[in-house]
Amino acid sequence: MRIRLDIAYDGTHFRGWAKQPNLRTVQGTLEAALARIVGSDVQFVVAGRTDAGVHAAGQVAHVDLDDAQWARVESRHGKAAHDPAGSLAGRMRGVLGAYPDVTVTRSALAPDGFDARFSAVWRRYRYRLADDGSGFDPLRRHDTTTHRGTLDETRMDAAARTLIGLHDFAAYCKPREEATTIRTLLDYRWSRDADGVLVAEVKADAFCHSMVRALVGACAAVGEGRLDVDDLVVLRDALERTSEFKVLAARGLILTEVGYPSDDLLAVRAEQTRARRSRDDDA
């Protein structure tokens, strides 16, 4: 029985999504919580693995339960659950505690053909960057990166838009053996919110390792005048990592949404994606 789980977390005290021995991770925490409910080990498949310190408001995962595990879900304190799959979210929240830094916001039976990773058609991230023009709110210290000086958001927005499209983003990705760096950047823009904080909205079919933080670091270099607006395309087309900009901190990055096709196209999308990629996508 495949279950879809919608997940949110504050990544500050996690060593990223992926389970690692002797380290606290989002995957490890959630799998341990669900294992307590179903009585044995489980394994999550996630839409996009996030690095240490990266947050999520709209992460998506799936888990496959065997007959014995599903029977434990169906029976709640000896009584049949009205909506077994839907009840899992609340039961996991109960295991995770009153004020957890990770939670399951929704659970449901997955449609036929659904794969949290391979069926996804896009991922959307937000990055928050506070400069001297906005000041710093200590209540947002876990999800906002700070920058000394004032950044020019108009130049940053113009530079961001030059990168949109299907390209090889090797210059903006941490290389991994056998992993492709070709991605379709669907949207990238900068603006200031009501508090004056610079906010980037970045959307792509998928992201390679550290890609979002490299993209925002490049635009920050444009905003402070160290790079010209058109330089980001030149750097991209060089297909090599560069020291012309910094990869910004993970704390400002939030996975906000994952997009999927209609139910009748889920299996087709998964098949297409598997044919193109053999490794997890990372931000």
DSSP single-letter state for residue 247 = P
Domain total for the chain?
Answer: 2
Residue 243 has φ and ψ, to the nearest 5°, of -100, 15
Is residue 80 included in any domain, yes or no? yes
Q: Which position among 6, 10, 41, 51 bears the catalytic label?
A: 51
What pLDDT, on a 0 to 100 scale, did the predictor assign at position 76? 73
What pLDDT, on a 0 to 100 scale, did the predictor assign at position 175? 79
Is residue 267 included in any domain, yes or no? no
State what percent of residues in the chain have pLDDT above 70: 96
pLDDT tier for residue 135 given thresholds of 50, 70 and 90: confident
Query: pLDDT, tens digit, for every residue of 8-35?
Result: 999 999 999 999 999 999 999 999 999 9
Whether 121 and 268 have beta carbons less than 8 Å apart is answered as no
Structure tokens at 85: 């799959």
What pLDDT, on a 0 to 100 scale, did the predictor assign at position 275? 82
Query: pLDDT, tens digit, for every residue of 72-108?
Result: 999 875 566 689 999 999 999 999 999 999 999 999 9
The mean per-residue pLDDT over the stretch 107-135 comes to 97
Q: Is 51 an active-site residue?
A: yes
104 & 147 share domain: no
89 & 129 share domain: no
Higher pLDDT, 126 or 274: 126
CA angle 265, 5, 77 (to 5 degrees): 130
Query: pLDDT, tens digit, for every residue of 221-266?
Result: 999 999 999 999 999 999 999 999 999 999 999 999 999 999 999 9
What pLDDT, on a 0 to 100 scale, did the predictor assign at position 280? 47
31 & 104 share domain: yes
* Surface-to-core class of residue 68, CB atoms within 10 Å of its CB (0-12 exposed, 13-18 middle, 19+ buried): exposed
Mean pLDDT score of the chain: 94
Answer whether 0.85 is exceeded by the pTM: yes
CATH number at residue 251: 3.30.70.660
Amino acid in the structure at residue 75 = S
Is residue 237 included in any domain, yes or no? yes
Is residue 97 included in any domain, yes or no? yes
What pLDDT, on a 0 to 100 scale, did the predictor assign at position 56? 98
Domain that holds residue 200: 122-259
Query: pLDDT, tens digit, for every residue of 143-170?
Result: 999 999 999 999 999 999 999 999 999 9
87 & 128 share domain: no
Residue 148 CB contacts under 8 Å (≥ 6 apart), including other chains: 131, 132
